[in-house]
């Protein structure tokens, strides 16, 4: 039944069916007053239903004259060319950037998960600072949105990482533009802090409301290039009585985040916690929120301990090879691991 | 099935007299007409005044209804149709082709089920590149921003007989980002109308339609308040199968797994979805390994439970 495909409420749908309107064509050929009296709704509501129906039948009528291509798509060739010019956000750790193909990509949703204390929030803060690196230094020159659900965002740490980043940038500019004094770095740590939009959410309804609102927010602040959610699972794990509702809400939220990433060309980074799963007689560590959530990201990186070292492993990606790389968390932020036996393992 | 009064403009036999007669039998739309006893209607029409006009009106309605259903085919016509139109497309991987009897068959809906990172998107990308190489168009509905043109270019470049002409092949694959089930329906309807009105054009037919993944579109609406989500899921399945059969396309969808009652994982989307795809394949990957396993859950021509020996997807 084609009526089922209109985005209208169930009661209106029932009224349409009871009055005999079972196809879009039948609605499209009546007038507003007829429709309003037949199904006993106000004229404005009837107009809305009529608009939905005529939009669909207008597509039917105009398809004969148009080209073969349906609106909204891109050929793979165009996407390939666009990809060459798209930039990625560096993580300040060269090994990690290498396995990621340059850094965290825009237009994709990346999920980063790991045990507590492995450095997820540190990576989140580092990315929020690195996205602001100006274009001259190979960055994106954009702003960041940081959604904090656990309260683990420490402003002093952000200041520390921002100062270290500016020091690195001025060292780079001295290195490459030794003779030109005008290339001094003009950024101040305070301006880096100003460009991070911080949201604190305390319940799952707030989180969903915020994700819905982000569309409007990013339209107003067009230079936002990364959204970091730390952590996306926190409010959904404790005492959620209705599991079916949780699956639905999470599915919808992930689709909205995907849409944001694609439409505004920004990177979405979700930080996740781990839980144990009973698989074939043994307990394994997997990311929280279950199997249906594991499909809601484009790439997944798992952080783990290898002896004394922190490692990152690419668990899921449509185009990157599975590999792992070591990194370390220093007072200046995320940096390369200084262990002598470090090398990138191709799995 | 419109209300009767909307047919009045095109078919003058169904005038207000006829409508009043029908209303006396509680018939307000063509659907009510179908549910009513036709013989009883004829007898009561002969008892009324102006019975000839009423009889003509009833015959007119019956002829309208006759024109709406698809033509009836016999077995011989179906075999001819299968021979001429319903070819088999290779997926690009010999192991998979051997498992499913040659490849993806036109007119069938194939479903790939598997846990995260088991290779579903890779199989989709590989099939897309193989079909595009054979001079046919591919439509890719992407719900998770996982369409990687880089990877597709890699698959195309692997085959030795295509050194240049990558652009032509890549131009045949069109990717649509879809984030909403209603958006998917819009797109599929547009595709259906485009295909219906373009019968006769021989170049660049769409031969492969991929929805990756259909489960992420349907999960947010399933089991909510009312059966609306369930209805949409089944109508999506029917629409895809109708597109596949009428316009000679092969359809590939991906689905994820959820935890079952006894701890084993089962495909998502529930019991009613089980009967919708023609072919269901289960993928799994050994932990951290490069080797993916594929087994048949359901196939019209192969025994279920058959597995493919190692299918190496990451070269």
Q: Which of A10, A295, A324 is the mutation pick for testing B, counting most B CBs within 10 A?
A: A295
Per residue of chain A (347 residues), what is the pLDDT tens digit?
466 667 777 777 777 777 767 666 667 667 777 777 777 777 777 777 777 766 665 555 544 433 445 677 888 888 888 887 777 888 888 889 989 988 898 889 999 998 888 888 999 999 999 999 888 887 888 899 999 998 888 999 999 999 998 888 888 877 776 655 555 566 788 888 899 999 999 988 999 999 999 999 999 998 999 999 988 888 888 777 888 888 888 888 999 999 999 999 999 999 998 887 776 666 667 788 777 788 888 999 989 888 888 999 888 888 888 888 999 898 888 888 876 554 555 55
Beta carbons of B144 and A60 less than 8 Å apart: no
- Among B148, B180, B258, beta carbon nearest to A255: B180
Measured between beta carbons, the chain A residues lying within 8 angstroms of B235 are 1, 4-5
| Higher pLDDT among residues B163 and B99, named by residue | B99
Is A81-336 a domain of CATH 3.40.50.300? yes
Q: Provide mean pLDDT across the span B296-311.
A: 77
Contact A4 B231 (CB under 8 A): yes
> Within 10 Å of residue A230's Cβ, how many Cβ atoms?
24
> How much of chain B, in percent, has pLDDT values that exceed 90?
16
Task: Measure CB to CB from residue A292 to each of B146, B219, B226 and give the nearest one.
Answer: B219
In this complex, which of B149, B180, B235 lies closest to A79 when CB atoms are compared?
A: B149
* Chain B residue with Cα closest to A322: B288
Contacts of A316 in chain B (CB under 8 A): 116-117
| Closest chain A residue by Cα to residue B177 | A73
B contacts of A73 (beta carbons < 8 Å): 139, 174-176
pLDDT in tens, B18-34: 777 777 777 777 777 77
B1 interaction partners in chain A (CB closer than 8 Å): 20, 22-23, 26
User: Which positions ≥6 away from A275 have C-beta within 8 Å?
Assistant: A285, A286, A287, A288
Is there a contact between B150 and A108 if contact means CB atoms under 8 Å apart? no
Nearest 10 degrees: CA dihedral of B160, B166, B168, B173?
100
Across the interface, do B191 and A261 touch by the CB < 8 Å criterion?
Answer: no
Contact yes or no for A72 and B187 at CB 8 A: yes
- Nearest-CB residue to B220 (from A107, A251, A298): A251
Quote the minimal CA–CA distance from A122 to chain B in Å: 26
Which of B167, B190, B213, B291 is best to mutate for the A interface (most A CBs within 10 A)?
Answer: B190
Closest CA to B176 of B144, B136, B133: B144
> Could you tell me which chain B residue has the CA closest to the CA of A291?
B258
Kindly report the nearest CA distance between residue A178 and chain B, in angstroms.
38
> Mean of the per-residue pLDDT values for chain B?
81
Question: Shortest CB distance from A26 goes to which of B6, B187, B232?
Answer: B6
Residue of A nearest to B287 (CA): A315
User: Where does the pLDDT of residue B203 fall: very low under 50, low under 70, confident under 90, or very high at 90 and above?
Assistant: very low
Residues of A in contact with B3 (CB under 8 A): 19-21, 26, 38
- Facing A56 at nearest CB: one of B3, B189, B191: B189
Identify the residue among A76, A111, A283 best suited for mutation to test binding to B, counting B beta carbons within 10 A and taking the highest. A76
Rounded to a whole number, what is the distance in Å from the CA of B131 to chain A's nearest CA? Answer: 14
Residues A238, A241, A242, A245, Cα dihedral to 10°: -40
The domains of chain A are located at 2-60, 81-336
Contact B218/B100 with Cβ under 8 angstroms? Answer: no
Interface with A, mutate which of B119, B123, B149, B267 (most A CBs under 10 A): B149
Tell me whether residues B173 and A319 touch, CB distance under 8 A. no
CA dihedral angle for residue A173, residue A179, residue A183, residue A184, rounded to 10 degrees? 70
A-chain CB neighbours of B122 within 8 Å are: 318
Residue B213: asked if its preceding bond is cis (omega within 30°), the reply is yes
pLDDT top residue among B301 and B315: B301
- The residue-averaged pLDDT of B5-14 equals 68
Tell me the pLDDT tens digit for each residue of B227-265: 888 888 999 999 999 999 888 899 999 998 887 766 677
Pairing of strands B137-142, B173-177: parallel
Residues B244 and B239: their CA atoms lie apart, in Å, by 9
Verify whether the Cβ–Cβ distance B180 to A292 is below 8 Å: no
Minimum distance, in Å, between the CA of residue A288 and any CA atom of chain B: 13
Nearest to B210 by CA among B280, B282, B121, B134: B121
For A2, which residue in chain B has the nearest alpha carbon? B235
Rounded to a whole number, what is the distance in Å from the CA of B301 to chain A's nearest CA? 30
Residue of chain B whose alpha carbon sits nearest to that of A38: B3
CB contact under 8 A, A1 and B235: yes
Cβ of B6 and A70 within 8 Å? no
pLDDT at residue B199 is higher than 60 = no
pLDDT(B202) > 50: no
Distance from CA of A315 to the nearest CA of B (A): 7
How many inter-chain contacts (A to B, CB under 8 Å) are there? 194
For domain A2-60, the question of CATH label 3.40.50.1820 is answered with: no
Q: How far is B174 from chain A (nearest CA, A)?
A: 4
pLDDT digit string, tens, across residues B31-67: 777 788 878 777 877 777 777 777 777 787 788 777 7
What pLDDT score does A180 carry?
A: 55
Contacts of B187 in chain A (CB under 8 A): 70, 72
Task: Nearest by CB to A20, from B28, B146, B290: name it.
Answer: B28
Contacts of A56 in chain B (CB under 8 A): 186, 189
């Amino acid at each position: 039944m084609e009526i089922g495909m209109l985005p209208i409420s169930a009661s209106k749908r029932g009224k349409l069916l009871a009055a005999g309107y079972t196809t879009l064509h039948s609605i499209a050929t009546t007038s507003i007053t007829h429709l309003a009296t037949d199904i006993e709704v106000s004229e404005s509501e009837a107009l809305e239903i009529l608009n939905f129906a005529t939009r669909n039948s207008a597509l039917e009528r105009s398809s004969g004259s148009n080209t073969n291509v349906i609106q909204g798509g891109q050929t793979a060739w165009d996407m390939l060319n666009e990809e060459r010019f798209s930039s990625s956000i560096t993580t300040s750790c060269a090994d990690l950037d290498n396995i990621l193909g340059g850094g965290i990509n825009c237009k994709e949703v990346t999920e980063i998960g790991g045990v507590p204390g492995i450095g997820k929030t540190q990576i989140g803060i580092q990315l929020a600072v690195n996205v602001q690196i100006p274009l001259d230094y190979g960055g994106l020159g954009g702003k960041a949105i940081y959604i904090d659900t656990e309260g683990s965002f420490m402003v002093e740490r952000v200041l520390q990482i921002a100062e270290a980043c500016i020091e690195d940038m001025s060292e780079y500019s001295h290195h490459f533009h030794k003779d030109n004094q005008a290339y001094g770095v003009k950024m101040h740590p305070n301006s880096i802090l100003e460009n991070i939009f911080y949201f604190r959410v305390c319940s799952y309804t707030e989180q969903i409301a915020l994700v819905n609102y982000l569309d409007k927010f990013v339209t107003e602040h067009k230079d936002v290039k990364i959204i970091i959610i730390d952590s996306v699972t926190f409010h959904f794990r404790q005492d959620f009585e209705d599991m079916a509702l949780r699956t639905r809400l999470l599915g919808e939220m992930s689709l909205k985040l995907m849409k944001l990433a694609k439409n505004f060309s920004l990177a979405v980074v979700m930080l996740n916690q781990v839980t144990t799963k009973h698989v074939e007689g043994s307990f394994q560590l997997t990311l929280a929120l279950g199997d249906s959530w594991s499909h809601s990201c484009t790439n997944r990186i798992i952080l783990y301990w290898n002896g004394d070292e922190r490692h990152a492993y690419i668990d899921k990606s449509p185009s990157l090879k599975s590999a792992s790389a070591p990194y370390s968390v220093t007072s200046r932020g995320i940096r390369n691991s200084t262990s002598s036996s470090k090398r990138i393992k191709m799995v | 099935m419109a209300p009767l009064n909307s047919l009045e403009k095109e078919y003058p036999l169904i005038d207000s007299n006829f409508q009043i007669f029908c209303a006396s039998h509680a018939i307000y739309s063509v659907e009510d007409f179908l549910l009513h006893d036709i013989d009883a209607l004829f007898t009561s029409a002969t008892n009324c005044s102006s019975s000839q006009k009423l009889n003509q009106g009833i015959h007119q309605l019956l002829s309208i209804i006759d024109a709406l259903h698809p033509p009836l085919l016999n077995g011989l016509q179906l075999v001819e149709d299968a021979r001429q139109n319903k070819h088999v497309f290779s997926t690009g991987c010999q192991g998979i082709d051997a498992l499913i009897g040659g490849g993806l068959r036109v007119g069938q809906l194939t479903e790939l089920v598997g846990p995260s990172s088991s290779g579903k998107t890779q199989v989709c990308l590989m099939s897309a590149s193989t079909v595009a190489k054979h001079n046919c168009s591919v439509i890719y509905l992407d719900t998770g921003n996982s369409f990687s043109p880089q990877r597709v270019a890699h698959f195309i470049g692997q085959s030795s007989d295509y050194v240049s002409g990558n652009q032509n092949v890549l131009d045949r694959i069109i990717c649509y980002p879809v984030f909403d089930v209603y958006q998917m329906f819009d797109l599929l309807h547009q595709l259906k109308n485009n295909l219906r009105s373009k019968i006769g054009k021989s170049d660049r037919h769409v031969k492969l339609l991929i929805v990756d993944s259909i489960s992420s579109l349907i999960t947010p609406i399933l089991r909510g308040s009312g059966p609306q989500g369930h209805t949409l899921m089944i109508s999506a399945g029917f629409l895809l199968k109708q597109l596949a059969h009428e316009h000679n396309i092969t359809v590939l969808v991906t689905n994820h797994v959820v935890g079952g009652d006894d701890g084993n994982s089962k495909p998502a989307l529930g019991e009613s979805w089980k009967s919708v795809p023609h072919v269901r394949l289960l993928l799994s990957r050994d932990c951290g390994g490069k080797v993916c396993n594929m087994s048949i859950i359901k196939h019209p021509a192969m025994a279920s439970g058959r597995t493919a020996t190692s299918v190496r997807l990451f070269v």
